Chains A and B, each alone.
Chain A
Amino acid sequence: MKAFDYIRPNSLEEAGRYFAQGKSVKILGGGATLFLQLQNGELAPDIVMDVKDIPGFRDVRYHHNHGLKLGAAVNLQHLVTGLEIRRHYPLLNQTAHQLASPQIRNRATIGGTLAWASPVSELAASMLCYDAVCHTWRPEGARAIPIGELYLGDFKTALGPDELITHVHLPSFPVRTFGVYQRQTVRHDGRRMIAGAAALAVRKHNALTNWRIAVLGVDDRPKRMPEAEALLAGAPAEEDIEQALAAVQDNIHPQDVVYARADYRRTVLDSLLRRSIQAIIDNLQDYNA
């Protein structure tokens, strides 16, 4: 790795001062992506700024009305083990189980993962389903970016170069929320993503409301599928599901990659999503039975 200065500010203001120095600064979360870029010379910043010590960055707070606040430096492993996640955000928990490896999960952070903005980000897909909002800070002030607006496609985000994600906020969800995440990858630990599909709905009486569908690996960013969601509202019949699946196909733009063709990714997504939706419906029926 090229030489740089590692610094570890204790406040946002201190962080802001480094940005103001006119040197190139890269923010370090867990380094799971940043290290690769530093190792292969793609990035050669003057300063690597570790944000773990900034107050609030490692906080996790849950309130049954206000929802969940996850500090940007909370690691992904917390999504696997945290009680509040397991209880109230099972889709997030289920997704986190499948993310990378224990080694990576222990290091990689919520902020770094969201800022990395990969088109195959599984965390982002699940956050999309929960309507997460990304809270940021920069010397000019703080702002809130709904997660759907954070991504501009192809690893690009709405974040400025001196903008820090401070935390992520997820609204609270009724206990009757049920979510399923399905993926197909070449290697079964998650490497080489072909496609992934997260689906979530809230059970209300005998119907399913609040459908959320998020897909990944089939476009330049993880995406919600609002048209499909609308078609599923209530107690979807066979035709509704077919129409919803068709709507998804109309709204994705998969790319050919070395290990999977675009048309194949479409087929796989269709199959995964069908299974996810069916699992949610089955769950409702099990409940009713």
Chain B
Amino acid sequence: MKHEIRFIINGESRSLTVLSQQTLLEVLREDLGLTSPKHGCSTGECGACSVLLNGEVVNSCMVLAAEVDGADILTVEGLATDDELHPLQKSFIDHHGVQCGYCASGMLISAKALLNRTSRPHEEEIREALVGNLCRCGAYADIIKSIQVASRARR
């Protein structure tokens, strides 16, 4: 079954025809060319495909594209403005919050969701906010630090 959907992606309104069984991840990557959300498992375990759906972090491999009609979605492509990186991106660069980088988009999105809720999270809260994001390179310590520094820099 086909669905006409309209949604806001990274601040821009888009309409699109999708099939019932297509996941949001598939549509973002293959149809919209937004490749920052990554495929890591498609079973909700790794968080590499994380996006913000109406401000909340979700695994886009576990959302049907047809479900997001009317929603507001943010991927890492929409984090930076034309001339400035998002403070989280800057902080991840400065504090080595990235190694191979495959988990990075998901980490940034989880971090963004956390900072939307809590402006100055402490370490324990950051750890909790990231349990759904696997990093095989083990960069967790520096990712946590990057998020901490970014949250302090914000105000």
Judged by CB atoms under 8 Å, the answer to whether A and B touch is yes
Residues of chain A touching chain B, judged by Cβ–Cβ distance below 8 Å, are 1-6, 28, 30-32, 35-36, 38-39, 48, 50, 77, 97, 100-104, 106-107, 189
Decide: A5 and B59 in contact? CB cutoff 8 A: no
Q: Closest chain A residue to B69 by CB distance?
A: A8
Within 8 A of A (CB), among B89-143: 110, 113-114, 128-129, 131-133
Indicate the size class of the contact surface on chain B: 20 to 34
Q: Closest chain A residue to B54 by CB distance?
A: A106
Decide: B21 and A104 in contact? CB cutoff 8 A: no
Question: Nearest chain B CB to A102's CB is how many angstroms away?
Answer: 5
Q: Chain A contacts of B63 at CB under 8 A?
A: 31, 107
Contact of B1 among A6, A28, A103, A104 (CB under 8 A): A6
Number of interchain pairs (Cβ within 8 Å): 75
Q: Chain B contacts of A35 at CB under 8 A?
A: 43-44, 61-62
Decide: B21 and A1 in contact? CB cutoff 8 A: yes
Tell me if B3 counts as interface (CB < 8 A to partner A).
Answer: yes
Decide: A50 and B132 in contact? CB cutoff 8 A: no
Within 8 A of A (CB), among B41-62: 42-44, 47, 50, 53, 56-59, 61-62
CA separation between A107 and B67, bound complex, in Å?
12
Contact of A103 among B19, B21, B42, B132 (CB under 8 A): B132
CA separation between A289 and B67, bound complex, in Å?
54
9 pairs across A/B with beta carbons < 8 Å?
Answer: A3-B19, A3-B20, A3-B21, A32-B62, A48-B64, A102-B132, A103-B47, A104-B44, A104-B132
Question: Nearest chain A CB to B106's CB is how many angstroms away?
Answer: 9
Question: Nearest chain B CB to A199's CB is how many angstroms away?
Answer: 23
Q: Interface on chain A toward B: helix, strand, loop, or mixed SS? A: mixed
Tell me if B66 counts as interface (CB < 8 A to partner A).
Answer: yes
CA separation between A101 and B133, bound complex, in Å?
8
Question: Nearest chain B CB to A277's CB is how many angstroms away?
Answer: 26
Decide: A31 and B62 in contact? CB cutoff 8 A: yes
Decide: B67 and A100 in contact? CB cutoff 8 A: no
Q: Chain A contacts of B56 at CB under 8 A?
A: 77, 102, 106
Q: Closest chain B residue to A107 by CB distance?
A: B58
CA separation between A103 and B110, bound complex, in Å?
8
Q: Chain B contacts of A6 at CB under 8 A?
A: 1, 3, 20-21, 64, 66-67
